[in-house]
């Protein structure tokens, strides 16, 4: 019998690595949701995932490396899901795009498949202390602010947003509104009417950008 080809062996090794990393990421995300960021160790993730602590260190280097990788993965997946919900038309004004963006963002936290979204907010909160300024969080925030700022400028150019609005000043305000609102929805889902919150958010954004 001829020995297996090297390419097939490499594929198997890559799949093993891929499966192991996915299991580790799933375990880390579950634990963060259950206990909070500060109460999860490499040993906890190792035990939950079924992979050794040494393997975690081999793949990620440290606890911070593991969580930065997790944040990158969550943001990438969240952005993909978000863009799938976001239906922008070529004829939309800058204001209409911003309103659709806000609606799609909040929908992530009230839809039937939102059970994993809270870990995203927990990781954002964990990055507030200076010692925890993970690159993935900083990059995601900068991307969000940039997108908001560009759409405000676009809306001012097409006349849908007031020229008195400061794009630099309002972009972090809009991002903060979305983050704060989503936190409320996660903290008290049984007490908050998501549909009414979305309607009020639309009204507020429109008022801020057109007054």
Query: Are residues 160 and 70 both part of a single domain?
Result: yes
Give the SS3 label for residue 165.
coil
Q: Torsions phi, psi of 84, nearest 5?
A: -70, -35
Query: Are residues 95 and 35 both part of a single domain?
Result: no
Distance of alpha carbon 193 from alpha carbon 185, whole angstroms: 9
Provide the whole-model pTM.
0.74
User: Which ranges of the chain does DSSP label H, i.e. alpha helix?
Assistant: 6-35, 42-49, 53-60, 63-85, 94-107, 118-126, 135-158, 167-187, 194-210
Query: Are residues 81 and 117 both part of a single domain?
Result: yes
Structural domains counted in the chain: 2
The CATH number of the domain holding residue 192 is: 1.10.357.10
Look-up of token digits 């400028």 = 153
174: which residues sit within 8 A by CB, 6+ positions away?
A: 98, 102, 148, 205, 208
Q: Of 15, 39, 61, which one is at a domain's C-terminal end?
A: 61
Query: Are residues 53 and 111 both part of a single domain?
Result: no
Query: Are residues 2 and 85 both part of a single domain?
Result: no
Query: Are residues 112 and 155 both part of a single domain?
Result: yes
Distance of alpha carbon 207 from alpha carbon 174, whole angstroms: 12
Query: Are residues 14 and 115 both part of a single domain?
Result: no
Residues 106-162 pLDDT 10s: 888 886 555 556 676 777 777 676 666 677 778 888 988 999 999 999 999 999 999
Query: Would you state the torsion angle of the CA atoms of residues 151, 157, 160, 166, taken in this order, to the nearest 10 degrees?
Result: 60
Rounded percentage of the chain residues whose pLDDT exceeds 70: 84
pLDDT score for 13: 82
| Chain centroid to CA 102 | 14
The CATH number of the domain holding residue 39 is: 1.10.10.60
Query: Are residues 4 and 82 both part of a single domain?
Result: no
Query: Are residues 28 and 105 both part of a single domain?
Result: no
User: Span 177-206, mean pLDDT?
Assistant: 90
Question: What confidence category does residue 182 fall into, taking pLDDT thresholds of 50, 70 and 90?
Answer: confident
Residues 25-66 pLDDT 10s: 989 988 988 888 888 999 999 999 999 999 999 999 998 889
Query: Are residues 101 and 196 both part of a single domain?
Result: yes
Burial 46-80 (b: 16+ CB within 10 A, else e): bebbebeeeebeeebeebeebbbbbbbbbbeebee
Q: Of 10, 43, 61, which one is at a domain's C-terminal end?
A: 61
For 152, the domain range is 64-210
């Amino acid at each position: 019998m001829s020995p297996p080809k090297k390419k097939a062996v490499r594929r198997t090794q890559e799949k093993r690595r891929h499966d192991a990393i996915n299991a580790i990421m799933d375990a880390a995300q579950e634990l963060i949701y259950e206990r909070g960021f500060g109460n999860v160790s490499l040993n906890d993730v190792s035990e939950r995932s079924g992979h050794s602590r040494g393997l975690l260190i081999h793949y990620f280097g440290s606890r911070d490396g593991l969580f930065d990788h997790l944040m990158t993965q969550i943001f990438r997946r969240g952005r993909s899901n978000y863009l799938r919900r976001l239906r922008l038309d070529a004829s939309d004004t800058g204001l209409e795009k911003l309103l659709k963006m806000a609606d799609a963002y909040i929908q992530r936290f009230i839809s039937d498949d939102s059970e994993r979204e809270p870990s995203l907010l927990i990781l954002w909160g964990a990055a507030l202390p200076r010692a925890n300024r993970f690159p993935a969080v900083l990059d995601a925030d900068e991307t969000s602010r940039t997108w908001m700022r560009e759409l405000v400028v676009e809306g001012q150019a097409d006349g849908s947003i007031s020229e008195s609005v400061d794009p630099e000043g309002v972009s972090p305000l809009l991002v903060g509104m979305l983050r704060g609102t989503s936190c409320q929805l996660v903290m008290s889902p049984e007490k908050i009417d998501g549909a009414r919150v979305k309607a009020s958010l639309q009204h507020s954004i429109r008022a801020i950008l057109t007054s």
